[in-house]
Amino acid sequence: MDRSIDDSYVTPKDYTICIKNIPLGLDLDYHEHIKNILENYSIADPDKVKVPILVKKIVLVYDIE
């Protein structure tokens, strides 16, 4: 039952990627650089034809543990 309910609701968690240890202090636009890497160099399954990945939003956060 839990699985059928989860399958029927789409949330941001279903399409979120967490990237850690991004170096700080580089002279570049982090949003555009990360978007470029994800859209142009990511593949979901190397045995299949590359499906275009569309990045809608990049949110940079700090780990405050």
Residues 55, 38: contact at Cβ < 8 Å?
yes
Q: What is the pLDDT along the chain (65 residues), one digit of tens a residue?
A: 777 777 777 777 777 888 888 888 899 999 999 999 988 887 666 677 767 788 888 988 887 77
Alpha-helix runs per DSSP H in the chain: 2-8, 30-41
pTM, two decimal places: 0.65
- Count of CA atoms in the C-beta half-sphere (13 A) of 22: 18
